[in-house]
Structure 1
Amino acid sequence: MVNPTMSETPLVIDNGSYEIKFGYADSNKPFRALNALAKDKYGVSNLSNHIKNIKDISSVTLQRPHEMGQLTSWELQSCLWDYCLYNPDEFNGFDLGETTKGTHLITNETCLTLPALSKNMDQVLFEEYEFASVYKAPSEGYIPFRTMNKSDKEITISGKDEEEEVDSVLKDQKQFPVESNDNEYRDFQLVVDSGFNCTWVCPIIKGIPYYKAVKKLDIGGRFLNGLLKETLSFRHYNMMDETLLVNNIKEKCVFMSPVSYFDSFKNKEKTSLQYVLPDFQTSFIGYIHDKTKSTLPANAQTITLKDECFMIPETFFHPEMAKLLKPGIVETILESLSMLPEPLRPMMIGNIVCTGGNFNIPHFATRLTNELQGQLPMDWNCRVTAMKDENELTTWNAMSQFATTEAYVATRVTREEYWEHGVEWCTKNRFGYQNWI
């Protein structure tokens, strides 16, 4: 029986290393805030979304609470959370005010977070913020709780053509009968979470991450920014200090080669873009010049992007292009797959879910499907599910849907339990991954 005082709508915070997504579980969309502190060349600090108001973006330095994918600085993270939770002017009246003690929290942390850092987070949530209850899990652990219903924004890409796909589905149904949709979660999914810090490949079996097969690829949005900085600085202008500008160029201009790098290289003149650099009068961040609609201002500084547009994200498949001697994303997925029990492998490869902001790069999910299919046995079918846009919100949506399940009510930790058992008990019995390895 659910305690009536515990049945209020919980607050959901997706604490990403690039952006914080937060809001009540019954909201259609979360509020969003940059998870960083920026200092401009005049020494003025700008917190979170105030970074977007910086006029002179040259030589801006960013400080983030996450280092190497782990949340290491709660001094800074607390400032950013306070900005999000107690700032009604910025977020359309959203304000926890004095209600923190009655608020139930669902949040996430990096997969395989160091136990000491995980305990530190528990202490902050219960002792400083004093939430009424907390549920915490890796981002990937929430994905199976997404709704079963197909939405218009969701696409599923198959590695085979339509006829082969139908035959494969019928074969799967005979081999593994489909369970009723009464389940709170999907039983078998392989989650590929590509965010700002890195890319995680995490198999989920019966709603629980299979930690023995979790793999990490050290390529994410931060890596792409760094590589783009070096490339533009070598070919055009020195942009090593232009973090915000380069990040904007990445978000607006890059795309994944739909077929292969060599195919796109042949057509690089057709896909080239002209990016107008900021002049700090008409533009503060720059923009892509539309050749069909307008002429360039007389004194405009531009850079022409050709193979840079698709070469940068190509490092997901060929890290050696950036002199990184590590496996690419396809090899990482296959390595994770090889550590699963053999009967589960074809099911996992047929239920891949892509999440994270990097999958907003055009053609990424399609290219991943085709590259994976070419490495699989003939009778296996690779199916990849992703959103058409806003892939960075997939995790928050899954977390908000998890809030309506019985599993959430049964597994969250109340403040009273925390004070009774202590932080060691929380990590060992509820939030830690060590017991599953």
Structure 2
Amino acid sequence: MSTLVLDNGAYFAKIGYSHEKVSVIPNSQFRTKTSRLKTFTANQLDEIKDPSGLFYILPFQKGYLVNWDVQRKVWDHLFGKEMFKVDFADTNIVITEPYFNFCSIQESMNEILFEEYQFQSALRINAGSLSAHRYFHENNSELCCIVVDSGFSFTHIVPYCRGRKMKGGICRINVGGKLLTNHLKEIISYRQLHVMDETHVINQVKEDVCYVSQDFYKDMEIAQLKGEDNTVMKDYVLPDFSSIKKGFCKPLEEMNFTGKYKTGEQILRLTNERFAVPEMLFHPSDIGIQEMGIPEALVNSINNMPEEMQPHFYKNIVLTGGNTLFPGFRDRVYKEVRALAPVEYDVSVVLPNNPICYSWEGGKLLAENPDFEEMAVTRDDYEENGHYICEEKFDI
């Protein structure tokens, strides 16, 4: 039996057999301005010659799977002959779902996995639980860890003890990568250039130029300086999809501080947006979301745990998800948690080498675990007992 591990994120699906490498593939469909009638699915995005004004059709809304038609088409593509050539009669699946998922979504997922695709067995689990599994596997002397999963729709903070999630400490912040990209689109559209339709391009800009400030007010002062003293300023060359396929930052020596460039390149000049956008992860109230930032929520979550466990959580903070890739993210989380934590506790913040695929790697380990068969539900079990057996087994 082979096991397929699918970390079904709201933006990227991380998928691969447990004995192979992971593939990171967009979990959506796309339409372009030029060919409105043709729909591209998942990694067919690479075939689009001109992705300006790219229109996303996402299966997830606000972190929950709501558009099953789109999700089915993405899964058909992933499981089909172009990609993984899944032989359902001989395959188990480990699939992730969000925290606090709705029963109706869980039941639809059970039906699709067992009745439509006919997998031999399935395990539905939170991505954070897989990250915790991987962390405990690598640090087997530790009993507790707290996972920060900052993804496309939400940021979740979840404490784990002996591999089980502690429901009393789960905290959700309604800030994720989608909100950051949309905010950057608004700022650029207001200040320079109308880019409200350019989600694909501006998402790339965000990933290329944004960083987490270690001293917000100091960076704000630098961003107001003129000329070469302004070390925050970056000129970003936008793609035209004929000669420039992908946007890039102008090297420092080529930057023209007067703002005039002779060539036909389209330039975005970015200053305080570079750090003001990721700052929303630390201060959501800056844009009117009355919630705690990540460090404060971390401390709040740990404070909800029994006192004797708290030092163990402070010592094992694990960062996962795409937003943790902003330069300076880990240092800022460490600095702020250290300032809020009791003096006598050690604080350690771990950023894995690949925080996007960390939970998939946990799923791979779990699939090879001798206990895997105990945790999964087989198709025979499901046909005999229905959804009830899934609810009983999967709430881990």
- The TM-score, its normalising length taken from structure 2, stands at 0.92
Query: How far is 1:365 from its partner?
Result: 1.1
1:430 to 386, 393, 396: 393
Query: How far is 1:56 from its partner?
Result: 2.9
Query: How far is 1:423 from its partner?
Result: 1.2
2:221 corresponds in structure 1 to 266
Name the CA distance, whole Å, in 2 between partners of 1:193 and 1:341: 22
2:30 to 35, 38, 51: 38
SS in 2 for 1:244: helix
1:310 corresponds in structure 2 to 275
Name the CA distance, whole Å, in 2 between partners of 1:87 and 1:358: 32
Q: CA 1:142–1:291 in structure 2 vs 1: closer, same or farther (change >3 Å)? A: same
Query: How far is 1:303 from its partner?
Result: 1.2
Correspondence 1:173-184 to 2 at 5 A: 181=140
SS in 1 for 2:132: helix
SS in 2 for 1:371: helix
Which region of structure 1 is more displaced relative to structure 2, 293-302 or 223-232? Answer: 293-302
Letter in 2 for 1:365: R
1:19 corresponds in structure 2 to 12
1:118 to 70, 81, 106: 106
Query: How far is 1:308 from its partner?
Result: 0.8
Correspondence 1:167-206 to 2 at 5 A: 181=140, 186-206=142-162
1:171 corresponds in structure 2 to none
Q: Does 1:410 align with 2:374?
A: yes
Letter in 2 for 1:225: T
Aligned length: 384
Tell me the percent identity.
28
Q: CA 1:274–1:416 in structure 2 vs 1: closer, same or farther (change >3 Å)? A: same
Name the CA distance, whole Å, in 1 between partners of 2:96 and 2:33: 34
Task: Check the 8 A contact 2:143/2:312 in 1, yes or no.
Answer: no
SS in 1 for 2:242: coil
Correspondence 1:83-94 to 2 at 5 A: 83-88=77-82, 91=83, 94=84
Q: Does 1:75 align with 2:69?
A: yes
Query: How far is 1:364 from its partner?
Result: 0.3
Name the CA distance, whole Å, in 2 between partners of 1:242 and 1:370: 35
SS in 2 for 1:200: strand
Correspondence 1:39-78 to 2 at 5 A: 39-42=31-34, 43=36, 44-78=38-72
Q: Does 1:240 align with 2:240?
A: no
Q: Does 1:321 align with 2:282?
A: no
The alignment's C-alpha RMSD in Å is 2.0
Task: Check the 8 A contact 1:115/1:432 in 2, yes or no.
Answer: no
SS in 1 for 2:357: helix
Name the CA distance, whole Å, in 2 between partners of 1:146 and 1:273: 38
Correspondence 1:127-146 to 2 at 5 A: 127-146=115-134
Name the CA distance, whole Å, in 1 between partners of 2:23 and 2:92: 17
SS in 2 for 1:263: helix
SS in 2 for 1:192: strand
2:253 corresponds in structure 1 to 292
SS in 2 for 1:391: coil
Task: Check the 8 A contact 2:375/2:394 in 1, yes or no.
Answer: no
Query: How far is 1:260 from its partner?
Result: 1.7
Deviation beyond 3 Å, 4+ runs, structure 1: 147-150, 291-297
Name the CA distance, whole Å, in 1 between partners of 2:179 and 2:39: 24
Letter in 2 for 1:109: E
2:240 to 250, 261, 279: 279
Letter in 1 for 2:356: E
Query: How far is 1:75 from its partner?
Result: 1.6
1:3 corresponds in structure 2 to none
Name the CA distance, whole Å, in 1 between partners of 2:254 and 2:216: 30
1:105 to 89, 93, 112: 93
